[in-house]
């Protein structure tokens, strides 16, 4: 018997999956539990509906070039593990209509939680009865004739993203604004941490930061884990949207010991916090508070 899996996707990526008869994912670990013969159900976020049911017809292979909408925008491969699929059925199974009858959505007041992750439903397959409910709803509501018209392109970020060192230096400055002893490139045995904050100059780091915008973020988590083990520091991984889900998965797995203390933070939030605190300090100075 096949297993049934749900993936949430954008309208544009759904169109690509249908046209090219392929599917792709970010994480190698997913390829070890979803295999040829399994069935995926694509939930399209803009349409708020389960729209396509597809069967995997081949084993996973490595993608050679950007294919998906967000990959083409950035000209990089974001989903390196790809497979071929065949469409079983398509239609519009509206979430609000089917969710009351779906057993995998246990908390009906927080439906969206069950559609997050890779795959959704907290990385678990759904039952055959749930699959049949979605299938029947899709059969009862075929796709409209104009569904293939292109959807709106996602907005392109106009401002240039800061570099690793610019974010690192902002974290250091943020620490100084917060009256911490902040240092960059702090030694940790034979390693170096991007930023640390201390309460006193001679003390051990209380907060440790690694900035990872690309490359080997597993190594960054390893350094944070070492600091957590050695000094009982509060670890922060400052990263991008592409890495956040994977980092949180690792904190549930390989780095589970520090999951309650570790934080995975988007770099934009760090920059925003810096600007807010800096503005507050300047305003206090201006009014002599």
Q: How many CB atoms lie within 10 A of CB 138?
A: 23
> How far from each other are the two terminal CA atoms of the chain, in whole angstroms?
69
**Average of per-residue pLDDT across 277-288:** 87
Cα of 120 vs its chain's centroid, Å = 12
Question: How confident is the model over 42-63, as pLDDT tens digits?
Answer: 999 999 999 999 999 999 999 9
Topology of domain 164-286 in CATH is: Trna Endonuclease; Chain: A, domain 1 (3.40.1350)
Among 72-76, 111-115, 164-168, 174-178, the range scoring the smallest mean pLDDT is: 72-76
More confident residue, 216 or 198: 198
In tens, the pLDDT along 38-47 reads 999 999 999 9
CATH number of 4-148: 3.10.590.10
How far is the C-alpha of 39 from the C-alpha of 90, rounded, in Å? 13
Tell which residue, 128, 51, 133, has the closest CA to residue 89.
Answer: 51
Which range is least confidently modeled, 12-26, 90-104, 113-127, 269-283?
Answer: 269-283
| Threshold 0.85, pTM exceeds | no
Q: Is the pLDDT of residue 153 over 80?
A: no
pLDDT of residue 159 exceeding 70, the answer is no
Strand ranges, E, within 26-164: 39-44, 49-56, 61-62, 81-94
Q: What are phi and psi of 137, to 5 degrees?
A: -65, -35
Contact 71, 87 (CB under 8 A): no
CA distance 3 to 272: 43
User: In this model, does residue 156 exceed pLDDT 70?
Assistant: no
Output the pLDDT for position 234: 96
Strand ranges in 27-171 using DSSP code E only, listed in sequence order: 39-44, 49-56, 61-62, 81-94
Q: Retrieve residue 148's tokens.
A: 């293939």
67-117 pLDDT, tens digit each: 999 888 888 899 999 999 999 999 999 999 999 999 999 999 999 999 999
* Residue 122 scores a pLDDT above 70: yes
Q: Which residues pair with 266 in a beta bridge?
A: 239
Q: Yes or no: say if 10 and 64 are a contact pair by the CB < 8 Å rule.
A: no
For 234-278, write each residue's pLDDT tens digit.
999 999 887 888 888 888 888 999 989 999 999 999 999 999 998
Query: Given this model, what pLDDT does residue 173 score?
Result: 94
Cβ count near 169 (within 10 Å): 18
Mean pLDDT of the chain: 91
**pLDDT digit string (tens) for 135-150?**
999 999 999 887 776 5
* Residue 283 backbone dihedrals phi, psi, to 5 degrees: -70, -40
Residue 151's pLDDT band (cuts 50, 70, 90) = low
Tell which wins on pLDDT, 279 or 55.
55
Rounded Cα distance, 171 and 210, in Å: 10
| Strand 263-266, strand 22-25: pairing | unpaired
Statement: residue 182 has pLDDT above 90: yes
55 touches 86 (CB < 8 A): yes
The Cα 252–Cα 273 span in angstroms is 27
Kindly report which listed range (122-126, 154-158, 180-184) carries the lowest average pLDDT score. 154-158
SS3 category, 227: helix
The ranges assigned to domains in the chain are: 4-148, 164-286
């Amino acid at each position: 018997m096949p297993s049934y899996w749900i993936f949430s996707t954008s309208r544009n990526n759904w169109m690509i999956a249908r046209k090219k008869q392929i599917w792709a994912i970010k994480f190698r670990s997913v390829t070890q539990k979803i295999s040829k013969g399994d069935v995926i159900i694509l939930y399209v976020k803009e349409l708020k509906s389960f729209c396509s049911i597809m069967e995997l017809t081949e084993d996973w292979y490595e993608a050679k070039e950007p294919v998906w909408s967000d990959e083409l925008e950035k000209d990089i491969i974001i989903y390196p593990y790809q497979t071929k699929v065949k469409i079983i059925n398509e239609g519009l199974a509206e979430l609000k209509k089917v969710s009351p009858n779906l057993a995998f959505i246990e908390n009906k007041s927080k439906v969206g939680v069950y559609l997050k992750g890779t795959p959704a439903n907290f990385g678990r397959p759904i039952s055959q009865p749930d699959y049949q409910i979605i299938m029947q709803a899709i059969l009862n509501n075929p796709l409209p004739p104009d569904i293939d018209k292109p959807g709106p392109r996602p907005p392109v970020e106009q401002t240039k993203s800061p570099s690793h060192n610019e974010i690192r230096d902002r974290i250091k400055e943020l620490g100084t604004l917060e009256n911490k002893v902040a240092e960059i490139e702090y030694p940790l045995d034979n390693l170096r941490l991007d930023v640390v904050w201390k309460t006193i100059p001679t003390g051990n780091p209380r907060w440790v930061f690694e900035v990872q915008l690309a490359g080997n973020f597993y190594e960054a988590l390893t350094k944070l884990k070492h600091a957590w083990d050695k000094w009982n520091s509060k670890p922060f991984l400052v990263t991008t949207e592409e890495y956040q889900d994977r980092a949180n998965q690792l904190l549930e797995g390989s780095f589970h010991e520090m999951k309650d203390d570790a934080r995975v933070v988007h770099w934009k939030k760090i920059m925003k916090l810096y600007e807010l605190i800096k503005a507050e300090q300047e305003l206090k100075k201006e009014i002599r508070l």
